[in-house]
């Protein structure tokens, strides 16, 4: 089996995993994740969460930042999926490009197996770029 390298580009509502077997090959998108709640307005998120609350809010209850809660949930789910992906079809190195503060949140949830493969991290959101533009930017800025 040829050792593969992987790049993850992510923010609080979308993540894309790219892989390749050698520097001569282009990055191929192999998986993506969407977390629709990460794009919702705070008021909409609060109305959604009220339907799940047993006691409702009181003046004494601690205020939980709903955006932070959604970001944490997506980071935890993504980290679990990365662990499964690594176990299923292992890669040699993983490089992560993610927006702040999602990068820190994701790193805190990665399993030790996935953490061992992380070659580099960048606080940079590349999720809106097509695969070819990610490749060009990666070659130009990070692999000189």
Q: pLDDT per residue over 125-140, tens digit each?
A: 999 999 999 988 888 8
How distant, in Å, are the alpha carbons of 4, 56, 58, 64, 128 from that of 61? 48, 9, 5, 9, 38
pTM of the model: 0.79
Residue 67: per-residue pLDDT: 76
Residue 24: per-residue pLDDT: 84
Task: Tell me the pLDDT tens digit for each residue of 51-88.
Answer: 444 344 444 434 458 778 888 999 999 999 999 999 99
The whole-number average pLDDT for the span 41-54 is 46
**Domain locations in the chain as residue ranges:** 5-38+66-142
Residue 35: per-residue pLDDT: 82
- CATH class of this structure's domain 5-38+66-142: alpha beta
Q: Which two tokens stand for residue 46?
A: 């609060």
């Amino acid at each position: 089996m040829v050792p593969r390298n992987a790049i993850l580009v992510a923010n609080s509502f979308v993540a894309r995993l790219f892989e390749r077997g050698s520097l001569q090959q282009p990055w191929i998108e192999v998986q993506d994740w969407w977390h629709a709640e990460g794009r919702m307005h705070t008021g909409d998120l609060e109305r959604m969460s009220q339907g799940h609350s047993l006691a409702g809010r009181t003046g004494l209850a601690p205020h939980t930042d709903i955006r932070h809660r959604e970001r944490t949930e997506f980071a935890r789910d993504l980290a679990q999926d990365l662990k499964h992906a690594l176990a299923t079809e292992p890669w040699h190195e993983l490089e992560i490009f993610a927006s702040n503060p999602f990068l820190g949140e994701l790193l805190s949830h990665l399993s030790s197996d996935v953490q061992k493969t992380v070659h580099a991290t960048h606080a940079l959101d590349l999720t809106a770029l097509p695969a070819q533009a990610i490749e060009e930017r990666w070659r130009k800025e990070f692999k000189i």
